[in-house]
A and B are shown apart, each in its own frame.
Chain A
Amino acid sequence: MVEPQSPEPLSPLEPEFHVGSHGNFEHGVEIILTETRPGSIVQLAAWPGEEKKLIAAIRTVTGLALPDGAGGGVSDGVKSVFGFAPGKFTVADEAEGLAAAFAKVVTPAIGTVTDLSHGRTAIRIAGPKAEWVLAKFFAIDFSLPAFPVGAGRSTAHHDVFAQIQRTSADQFDIYVFRSFARSFWKALCHASEEVGYEVQ
């Protein structure tokens, strides 16, 4: 669980996080970059054969119903969940306490709960050029039919592991290791320069 901090939680992006418009924005801002700062990020893994019970547990705790299929996911804007590997799921919530809530329902016979609230940084890229910028980073298909809203993907950029969830037609949430987040953020800013981006 993320410890409450005051006045503001520290972000690993801080020295490179410059609110405002940047790059070639004279012709309009086509990318919005933000850090979503979820209060909880949890990774769940089911033992073989226990996947359905884990999916039921996710529904109990978050109220979110996972769609069938590899990489399926759903987000209600506050809570998000997606599959990133067989029987494994990432869950994020704006509120704290997700790990404690899951620990009550995901028994040792079903699977494991790993609290990654401090271990991952969540970066949101939105705008009409979001697909285009991400295509520079990751060799996966970002088109809407191949990567539907809610779905998740596991991939890597220069060996920095990244989990990506599409949270709307032109918006993606990227979960990266906290220790790599600043360099990834800088790369994302550089890649967005040519279309104009705004940090919010």
Chain B
Amino acid sequence: MLITCPYCGPRDVIEFTYQGDGNRERPDPASQNFEAWNAYVYDRLNPAGDHNEIWQHSGGCRTHLKVVRNTLTHEISSVAFMRGDHGRGDHGSAARRKAEDKS
């Protein structure tokens, strides 16, 4: 599997580290909303298809990336820097709401 890092270009997946589901949003650390924390820790969309993910190019430029990967084909349809708002794939709670509205 190749991931095309926006800085380094296409690189083998062994250079990258998976940093988790990109559809979550961490509640405020002071939050006492246990449902929100429970959702953050446990709830996953687990889609059969495009999935928002966070990867780090740990064996390269070390930037964090928002990646859209198809869980059925492993096709990577979008890679963008986490910093900045470029590229496809709304990550975080907005993406989650959108996905839940669809289902």
Residue numbers of A with Cβ under 8 A of B are 48, 70-71, 84-86, 88, 139-141, 153-156, 159, 161
Contacts and interface: CB of A to CB of B under 8 A. Distances in A.
A155 B11 contact: yes
A88 B62 CA distance: 11
Contacts of A156: 15, 59-60
Contacts of A140: 9, 11
Contacts of B9: 70, 140-141
27 contacts: A70-B6, A70-B7, A70-B8, A70-B9, A71-B7, A84-B61, A85-B63, A86-B7, A86-B61, A86-B63, A86-B81, A88-B61, A139-B11, A139-B14, A139-B15, A140-B11, A141-B9, A153-B8, A154-B8, A154-B59, A154-B61, A155-B15, A155-B59, A156-B15, A156-B59, A159-B59, A161-B59
Main secondary structure of the interface of B (DSSP, over half): loop
B97 interface: no
Contacts of B102: none
Contacts, number: 41
B7 to A, nearest CB: 5
B11 to A, nearest CB: 7
A140 B5 CA distance: 12
B12 interface: yes
Contact of B62 (A85, A141, A153, A159): A85
A71 B59 contact: no
B95 to A, nearest CB: 23
A64 B59 CA distance: 27
A96 B70 CA distance: 50
Contact of A85 (B11, B15, B61): B61
Interface residues of B, number: 15
A48 B63 CA distance: 13
Nearest to A84: B61
A184 to B, nearest CB: 14
A43 to B, nearest CB: 12
Given A71-B7, A139-B15, 5 more contacts: A85-B62, A139-B14, A140-B9, A154-B8, A156-B59
Nearest to B81: A86
Nearest to B5: A70
A83 to B, nearest CB: 8
Contacts of A161: 59
